[in-house]
Amino acid sequence: MGLLKKKDSTSGRSSTSPCADLRNAYHNCFNKWYSDKFVKGQWDKEECVAEWQKYRACLSENLDGKLLTRILEVDGELNPTKQADSKETS
């Protein structure tokens, strides 16, 4: 049983989201890591990082000009270097 809900295979394929395949890859990786390793106390912080970075990059490309991009920027998710620069000048 994974933490994130699985959609049936037909709904994933019919999705209009340009990031749907990357989202599914990340969620599958995360669910496997969580159920196979994390709950058993055996985990590597580097697992699923590549999948997450690809998914996040796709989201940021496809959210340009939308309110969600601004929300992510406020949280420092898209531009961590911008946030670090502002801390250095403070």
pLDDT above 70 covers what percent of the chain? Answer: 52
pTM of structure: 0.56
- What sign does the CA torsion over 8, 10, 13, 14 have? negative
Domain ranges of the chain: 18-89
For the chain, how big is the Rg over CA atoms in Å?
A: 16
Nearest to 29 by CA among 47, 44, 17: 47
pLDDT digits (tens, 9 = 90+) for 62-82: 876 666 666 767 767 665 555
Give 55 or 6, the one with higher predicted confidence. 55
Q: Which two tokens stand for residue 87?
A: 């801390």
